[in-house]
Amino acid sequence: MDLAQNISLGLGVAAGFDNLLFCFLGVLLGTLIGVLPGIGAVATMAMLLPLTFHLAPTTSLIMLAGIYYGAQYGGSTTAILVNLPGEANSVATTLDGYAMARRGRAGAALAIAAIASFFAGTVSTVLIAQFGPAMAALALKFGPVEYFSLMVLGLVCSMVLATGALHKAAVMILFGIFLGLAGTDANSPMPRLTFGIDAMADGMSFVAIAVGLFGLTEIILNLERDLTRVAAIPLRDLFPTRAELSESAMPIVRGTFLGSILGVLPGGGALLASFGAYALEKKLSRTPDRFGKGAIAGVAAPEAANNAGAQTSFIPLLTLGVPSNAIMAVMAGAMTIQGIIPGPQVMTEHAPLFWGMIASMWIGNLMLLVLNLPLVGLWVKLLQVPYRLMFPAILFFSAIGVYSIANQAFDVYLAVGAGVLGYVMAKLGFEPTPLVLGFILGPMMEENFKRAMLLAGGDPATFIDRPISAGLLLVSAALLAVMVLPSVKRTRAVALREE
Amino acid sequence: MPNLAGLLRRTEFLSGLFILILGGVCHLAVGDLEIGTAQEMGPGYVPLALAWLILLTGAAMTFGGLWDGREVQEAVHWRPLVAISGAVVIFGLLVDRYGIVLAVVAATLVASFASPITRHRETPALCAVLALFGALAFVKGLGLAIPIWPR
């Protein structure tokens, strides 16, 4: 099938009534969550997973994807209007977006952000459609040896891009893999690593772990800090001037391009993309001193980049079966719950699902563009809901979401355990993302590792004898080696600190 | 070499101990699972290897922490930690048998002690709204198999 055929198949699926409706609900809900500070996209998606159980697989994934890019969008609204990034990905937007708002150009900044996001969403949707099948075809040639090495590379990349210390990310990956292995494994009928707890016989609940690490920990940490409220800046006209439009055209294109590339990298995604694009524009600009004081390029580029990155981060998940960040790990969890194993076979065995999801991303972006500018006023009002009323509600949704996956009280306690663990980790400077990636990849890695070793007669040299695998491991080793060089260590510290 | 109390304020040293504890729990969990051989691995092969890797990393971090003078910056605040954990645990304890309404009310009451930002005169109304919403939206609306009242 060629591209046009695939896209029309996708549009046909995505334009179904249910899919349109839940795509709409997803982006709406996502925007809402993106607007509210103190509750992240990962926790929300994990929390709302149970709501999508009774939906058809395609519809549920469309809704979850909608939540994700809706949250991107909502995050930039608050970044511009109140200088509070609703999502980490919008931090770069606060720099010039809020400055523009203070000069009375809030409307223009919002409109440019919307246009940039839409443009980036469109281009990256085409990119996924274009390059996805090629990558999946490559992945189908992979044996267990190559798969194992690919996952090693993915995890190494996520270590390199993690903000904390390298060894801390590494040990969290190991611990995550271990947790992922608990329960019944494929080769033996007896559950393992469960301390005899029946509720863990099918493995630990991913939702409980994610809600605990990202949701509960976040609430506890937020309550320690003082969440001060900032007054929103009133909106005047929404339309950017012709000069503002032409000034942001090239930054949008460059941001989209950079974001699309960075989004594919494991551990990268939208966050890195937005900062990278901001830095690039500042470097290319003839008037770099205007950045931080309301340069429209400083809004256009990171907004395009974070949306492009958010979209293309689906590529590794859908074609290789390797989630590249915590949000994709939640998507992988959702797919597994729906009985779809993420990987190259998704595109062939579930073609309508794959293309429907891709087309829905574009439709979702269109909905965001049309809907959100008129709704800005409503979002701003939502910001006024005080945290003292919000956190008990978030707590309640988390608890009920975790419980309802299997109607097991044990999962709720597991979430509490994960929350306390996440709290200790936060105090000691460990990040939760490597743990979650390890948790998702762990069982696949063990399976492939075992099979590879069995085929090779127990000789680990098989991983360097096969060329593709050797190449992947070589890149991993090179990345690690480069990371421990003192000069790179310093640059990385500076580059990632801004986040 | 600083004394023990001084060491326990150091981030790296504490991180090392934390990882040692995690590794220890992992090792305990493996127990006497069959290890197998490199060619035909038993269910315990990979978990045991991971547990040892975690323990070794933890030991290295603890040891390295003896020379790393950086101290933990953020203090632990017990109040939100205990109240939030407690609230969710209470929810788990009650929801099975006593239904969503009692579970939500009890959890929200416990959570209201998590932070001084709570205004206690608002708590009853908040409990009522959340309980009503939970019963209507989740149990009636989505049909989750959770009792509304004690059974």
What is the percent of chain B with per-residue pLDDT over 90, rounded to a whole number?
52
**Reported confidence tier of residue A174, pLDDT bands at 50, 70, 90:** very high
Q: Specify the 3-state DSSP secondary structure of B144.
A: coil
Cβ partners under 8 Å of residue A299, min gap 6: A80, A93, A96, A97, A100, A109, A112, A113, A116, A248
B38-97, pLDDT tens digit by residue? 888 888 899 999 999 999 999 999 998 888 878 887 788 899 999 999 999 999 999 988
Q: Which pLDDT score, from 0 to 100, does residue A172 have?
A: 94
β-sheet bridge partners, residue B41: B36
More confident residue, A176 or A226: A176
CA A384 to chain centre: 27
Determine the distance in angstroms separating the CA of A343 from the nearest CA of chain B, rounded to an integer.
Answer: 23
Tokens of B122: 């608002």
Q: Specify the 3-state DSSP secondary structure of B143.
A: coil
Q: Specify the 3-state DSSP secondary structure of B71.
A: strand
- The C-alpha angle A383, A46, A204, rounded to 5 degrees, equals 150
The mean pLDDT of A436-444, rounded to a whole number, is 85
Domain count, chain A: 1
Torsion on CA atoms B20, B23, B28, B34, rounded to nearest 10 = -140
Determine the distance in angstroms separating the CA of A226 from the nearest CA of chain B, rounded to an integer.
Answer: 9
The mean pLDDT of A227-248, rounded to a whole number, is 71
Mean pLDDT in chain B? 89
Is residue A226 scored above 70 in pLDDT?
no
A471-498, pLDDT tens digit by residue? 989 998 988 888 777 656 666 565 555 4
Chain B residues touching residue A404 (CB < 8 angstroms): 138, 144-146
Q: Closest Cα to residue A53, out of A346, A336, A352?
A: A336
Determine the distance in angstroms separating the CA of B66 from the nearest CA of chain A, rounded to an integer.
Answer: 16
Contact, A411 vs A62, CB < 8 A?
A: no
Contact, A236 vs A104, CB < 8 A?
A: yes
Q: Which pLDDT score, from 0 to 100, does residue A499 have?
A: 39
Determine the distance in angstroms separating the CA of A318 from the nearest CA of chain B, rounded to an integer.
Answer: 27
Which of A124-138, A228-242, A297-311 is least confident? Answer: A228-242
ipTM passes above 0.90: yes
Report the chain A residue with the minimal C-alpha distance to residue B120: A388
- Residue whose token pair is 């040692």: B20
Q: Which pLDDT score, from 0 to 100, does residue A492 have?
A: 59
Chain B residues touching residue A446 (CB < 8 angstroms): 46
Determine the distance in angstroms separating the CA of A438 from the nearest CA of chain B, rounded to an integer.
Answer: 12
Q: Which pLDDT score, from 0 to 100, does residue A200 have?
A: 83
Q: How far apart are CA A353 and CA A25, in angstroms?
A: 18
In this complex, do A399 and B88 lie within 8 Å of one another by their Cβ atoms? yes
- 3-state secondary structure labels for all residues of chain A: CCHHHHHHHHHHHHCCHHHHHHHHHHHHHHHHHHHCCCCCHHHHHHHHHHHHCCCCHHHHHHHHHHHHHHHHHHHHHHHHHHCCCCCHHHHHHHHHHHHHHHCCCHHHHHHHHHHHHHHHHHHHHHHHHHHHHHHHHHHHCCCHHHHHHHHHHHHHHHHHHCCCCHHHHHHHHHHHHHHHHCEECCCCCCEECCCCCHHHCCCCCHHHHHHHHHHHHHHHHHHHCCCCCCCCCCCCCCCCCHHHHHHHHHHHHHHHHHHHHHHHCCCCCHHHHHHHHHHHHHHHCCCHHHCCCCCCHHHHHHHHHHHHHHHHCHHHHHHHCCCCCHHHHHHHHHHHHCCCCCCCHHHHHCHHHHHHHHHHHHHHHHHHHHHHHHHHHHHHHHHCCCHHHHHHHHHHHHHHHHHHHHCCHHHHHHHHHHHHHHHHHHHHCCCHHHHHHHHHHHHHHHHHHHHHHHHCCCCCCHHHHCHHHHHHHHHHHHHHHHHHCHHHHHHHHHHHHCC
- How many C-beta atoms surround the C-beta of residue A268 within 10 A? 24
Q: Closest Cα to residue A254, out of A274, A226, A233?
A: A274
- Put simply, whether B130 touches A (Cβ < 8 Å) is yes
Q: Crossing angle, helix A432-455 and helix A144-161, to 10 degrees?
A: 160
Interface of B with A in 42-61 (CB under 8 A): 42-47, 50-51, 53-54, 57-58, 61
In this complex, do B41 and A453 lie within 8 Å of one another by their Cβ atoms? yes
- How many C-beta atoms surround the C-beta of residue A375 within 10 A? 16
More confident residue, B106 or A165: B106
Determine the distance in angstroms separating the CA of A483 from the nearest CA of chain B, rounded to an integer.
Answer: 18
Determine the distance in angstroms separating the CA of A486 from the nearest CA of chain B, rounded to an integer.
Answer: 17
CB-nearest to A223 from B29, B53, B115 is: B115
Q: What DSSP designation does B141 have?
A: I
Report the chain A residue with the minimal C-alpha distance to residue B61: A167
Determine the distance in angstroms separating the CA of B4 from the nearest CA of chain A, rounded to an integer.
Answer: 18
In this complex, do A195 and B104 lie within 8 Å of one another by their Cβ atoms? no
Report the chain A residue with the minimal C-alpha distance to residue B20: A171
Q: Crossing angle, helix B11-30 and helix A409-428, to 10 degrees?
A: 150
Q: Which pLDDT score, from 0 to 100, does residue A287 have?
A: 81
CA distances from A315 to A132, A193, A213, A382 (A): 6, 33, 25, 34
More confident residue, A262 or A421: A421
A39-87, pLDDT tens digit by residue? 677 777 877 777 777 788 899 999 988 888 888 788 888 778 877 666 6
Chain A residues touching residue B61 (CB < 8 angstroms): 167, 171
Is residue B30 scored above 70 in pLDDT?
yes
Chain A residues touching residue B92 (CB < 8 angstroms): 399, 403, 409-410, 412-413, 416
Q: Which pLDDT score, from 0 to 100, does residue A37 have?
A: 65
Q: Which pLDDT score, from 0 to 100, does residue A358 have?
A: 84
Q: Which pLDDT score, from 0 to 100, does residue A490 have?
A: 60
Chain B residues touching residue A177 (CB < 8 angstroms): 50
Is residue A361 scored above 80 in pLDDT?
yes
Report the chain B residue with the minimal C-alpha distance to residue A423: B81
Q: How far apart are CA B20 and CA B12, in angstroms?
A: 12
- The C-alpha angle B13, A442, B54, rounded to 5 degrees, equals 20
Report the chain B residue with the minimal C-alpha distance to residue A396: B104
Q: Which pLDDT score, from 0 to 100, does residue A421 have?
A: 97
Q: Which pLDDT score, from 0 to 100, does residue A489 have?
A: 61
Determine the distance in angstroms separating the CA of A219 from the nearest CA of chain B, rounded to an integer.
Answer: 8
Is residue A233 scored above 80 in pLDDT?
no
Chain B residues touching residue A227 (CB < 8 angstroms): 117
Chain B residues touching residue A449 (CB < 8 angstroms): 46
Q: Which pLDDT score, from 0 to 100, does residue A237 have?
A: 66
Q: Which pLDDT score, from 0 to 100, does residue A102 have?
A: 82
Report the chain A residue with the minimal C-alpha distance to residue B87: A395
Is residue A13 scored above 60 in pLDDT?
yes
Report the chain A residue with the minimal C-alpha distance to residue B81: A220
- Put simply, whether B114 touches A (Cβ < 8 Å) is yes
Q: How far apart are CA B84 and CA B109, in angstroms?
A: 11
CB-nearest to A412 from B40, B92, B117 is: B92
Report the chain B residue with the minimal C-alpha distance to residue A188: B43
Q: How many CB pairs under 8 A join A and B?
A: 173
In this complex, do B39 and A453 lie within 8 Å of one another by their Cβ atoms? yes
Torsion on CA atoms A393, A90, A333, A47, rounded to nearest 10 = 0
Report the chain B residue with the minimal C-alpha distance to residue A455: B39
Domain range for A7 = 3-497
Contact, A167 vs A428, CB < 8 A?
A: no
Torsion on CA atoms A261, A263, A264, A267, rounded to nearest 10 = 130
What is the percent of chain A with per-residue pLDDT over 70, rounded to a whole number?
90
In this complex, do A423 and B44 lie within 8 Å of one another by their Cβ atoms? no
Q: Specify the 3-state DSSP secondary structure of B10.
A: strand
Interface of B with A in 4-33 (CB under 8 A): 11, 14-15, 18-19, 22, 26, 29-30, 33
In this complex, do A174 and B50 lie within 8 Å of one another by their Cβ atoms? yes
Q: Which pLDDT score, from 0 to 100, does residue A232 have?
A: 61
Q: Which pLDDT score, from 0 to 100, does residue A493 have?
A: 60
CB-nearest to A178 from B18, B50, B72 is: B50
Determine the distance in angstroms separating the CA of A185 from the nearest CA of chain B, rounded to an integer.
Answer: 8
Q: Which pLDDT score, from 0 to 100, does residue A498 have?
A: 44
A194-199's contacts with Cβ under 8 Å and 24+ in sequence apart are A194/B29, A195/B29, A197/A410, A199/A406, A199/A408, A199/A410, A199/A411
